[in-house]
Structure formats: C-alpha cells, structure tokens
C-alpha cells in the first residue's frame, strides 16, 4: 500500500474555470484555453492541504485525489 496521492482531473467534467490552478500553481498550470495541465507526479506532503482544497473548490467536482498505484 502506498499513501502517495496523485491529482487527477476529469477532462469531461472540467469546465476550464482554472480555480484549481489558482490554488495550486505548483502542480497545475493552464493551457492556452484555460484548461488545466496537471503534474503527473505524487502530491508532495506540504501541498496536500491545498490539493484537498482544489478538490473541494472545483466548481464542477472535476478534481480528485487518487491513491497512486504502486508497481510491485
């Protein structure tokens, strides 16, 4: 088991509001149309509270935190 978390954006739900990128510029930047490009790595511990807030604040609930899959 791993307690590493990754940020995932559901591209169908996402409305390109860019709120997540305002909250978490460290991991999320916006493309030219305002849609998020998410860092594919694990979320560092110190950014977890902000990542959580991005999940809660996305107006259309498109951001989720998923447990990273571990290769065995």
**Residues in touch with ligand SF4 (CB under 6 A):** 9, 14-20, 36, 58-60, 62-63
As a whole number of angstroms, the distance between CA 72 and CA 70 comes to 6
Tell me, what DSSP letter sits at residue 12?
T
Candidates 11, 29, 48, 61; binder of other proteins (CB under 8 A) is: 61
**Does residue 65 contact residue 6 with C-beta atoms inside 8 Å?**
yes
Structure token digits, residue 42: 């694990």
Asked if residue 35 binds other proteins (CB under 8 A), the reply is yes
State the first-to-last Cα distance of the chain, in angstroms, to the nearest integer: 10
56 binds, among ligand SF4, other proteins, none (CB under 5 to 8 A by kind): other proteins
Binding-site ranges for other proteins (CB under 8 A)? 13, 15-19, 22-23, 33-35, 53, 55-57, 59-61
């Amino acid at each position: 088991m791993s307690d590493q978390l990754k940020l995932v954006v559901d591209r169908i739900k996402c409305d390109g509001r860019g709120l997540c990128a305002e909250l978490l510029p460290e991991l999320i930047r916006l493309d030219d149309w305002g849609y998020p490009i998410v860092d594919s790595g694990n979320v560092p511990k110190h950014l977890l509270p902000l990542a959580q807030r991005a999940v809660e604040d996305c107006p259309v609930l498109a951001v989720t935190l998923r447990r990273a899959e571990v290769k065995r």
